[in-house]
Structure 1
């Protein structure tokens, strides 16, 4: 994505973090439906991304178009998106898709890391199944086939899919947005994988940890971060001693190397 689009998407995600965290699958469905409307009309996309229009005018247009047809949460997301600037018209639709998937992922995340891993596993299994069969690929990309038939085939290929996985698979087989269904599913899984970094603690230590200490550390970190974490332990003798933990953007560093570097900076100042 270009810089303007990247900044706009990041800004909306930060502004609506609490809203998206409380949204349900109906919001995701409505966002996908709104995306279909955007994708169907180049004129509408131009109007909603026209930088010569004031942000409030674009927001008013979105409220006029979608208001009363979607929940207040979905309307809030859409107006926030059209109020931003986008490098290209299509970027607005891409952003709607990203936030729709984010809502789905949050739903799965309510089961913790296991929920995210389950969602990712189902999607990856579906992608592998589709990619391994030319016949299935032809059936899912046949322009003459009805969306219902593609959904039925998608369901048959992913019988253990949760409601979250089902929504994303249905989306991939009926509205792949210029991609093959397997490609769109792969894009969805990349977003899920990025989300999982919030649940993975990268632990850097100077030497291997014994199992009993590892369990105590795991329990301590779970309490500190308020969630069940998956530990990814890296041994790096350069840290000398202590421990460094990173979960997403949050870092707790008590290594000897860091303390020595801090001391050196203080002495040099």
Structure 2
């Protein structure tokens, strides 16, 4: 996303966070409404062009939004959309991508308002691990011959009412969106978004053997010192891991040797 779009999204996010701060349970409804808007935009190139055309006035585009979405969304979401289309976008697809991100933010804010954000983050991570360990399930969920609704039912049936409502909504969304190359990639992004909302990085630690709580805490401390932020350590087991340990933060992979060097460097800096 280029500078104009990034600036527009950042400004909208700041305004929207102020709304979410007092929305409570309404945040869930806002999130699902925003996802519905994205679906409409994804299905209409003409509408995307109309709402991002720099030659049209902001008021004209806001009027289009009101006509198309006004009767279908809450007042808060309608105001958000009006502000978004008045902004500048580098590419027509950036508007829908930004609304998708704001929808995710809304659901996570709803979980946060109930004190369930950590739960949602953990449930997303456990789903990622379940897919990693179950090839048949991955293939079934990736089967394009099955409808999205069918695949959503399959995924939801694995958990039922056992997960937070925000987790269920995000899982279903991950199946229907095209904004990630795979379901697992979509879930990783959502997991990282939940962690970021708690101002933490997520480290996925794949170990050959189970780690003790002391070892997990120690890993978190080393990584936090190295990256200057709190780090949530999620542990998965894989006996084939070379060296016994593999750590991934976003796109960066750290092996056990590098971790030891980081720890030693931090010790020296600390005197």
TM-score, normalised on structure 1?
0.70
- Structure 1: 5+ residue stretches without partners: 199-230, 237-245, 248-269
Indicate the residue corresponding to 2:128 in structure 1: 127
TM-superposed CA distance for 1:183, in Å, is 1.2
Among residues 190, 195, 198, which one is paired with 1:196 in the alignment?
A: 198
- Contact preservation (8 Å) 2:61, 2:86: yes
- Contact preservation (8 Å) 1:108, 1:116: yes
Indicate the residue corresponding to 1:60 in structure 2: 63
Query: Structure 2 matches for 1:1-269, cutoff 5 A?
Result: 1-21=1-21, 22=23, 23-112=26-115, 115-159=116-160, 160-177=162-179, 179-197=181-199
TM-superposed CA distance for 1:38, in Å, is 0.6
Q: Please give the per-residue CA displacement for 1:65-100, whole angstroms capped at 9, x wherever unaligned.
A: 101111112211211211111111111111101110
Bigger radius of gyration, 1 or 2? Answer: 1
Residues 232 and 109 (structure 1), Cα distance of their counterparts in 2 relative to 1, 3 Å cut: farther
Indicate the residue corresponding to 2:265 in structure 1: none
Q: Please give the per-residue CA displacement for 1:159-186, whole angstroms capped at 9, x wherever unaligned.
A: 4211010000011123344532221111
Residues 187 and 178 (structure 1), Cα distance of their counterparts in 2 relative to 1, 3 Å cut: closer
Counterpart Cα distance in 2 of 1:70 and 1:235: 41
- Contact preservation (8 Å) 2:180, 2:186: no
Residues 134 and 51 (structure 1), Cα distance of their counterparts in 2 relative to 1, 3 Å cut: same
- Structure 2: 5+ residue stretches without partners: 201-219, 231-271
Counterpart Cα distance in 2 of 1:166 and 1:235: 30
Residues 139 and 233 (structure 1), Cα distance of their counterparts in 2 relative to 1, 3 Å cut: closer
- Contact preservation (8 Å) 1:28, 1:104: yes
Counterpart Cα distance in 2 of 1:235 and 1:149: 41
* 2:199 alignment partner, SS class: helix
TM-superposed CA distance for 1:157, in Å, is 3.1
Q: Please give the per-residue CA displacement for 1:175-223, whole angstroms capped at 9, x wherever unaligned.
A: 344532221111111211111018xxxxxxxxxxxxxxxxxxxxxxxxx
Number of residue equivalences: 206
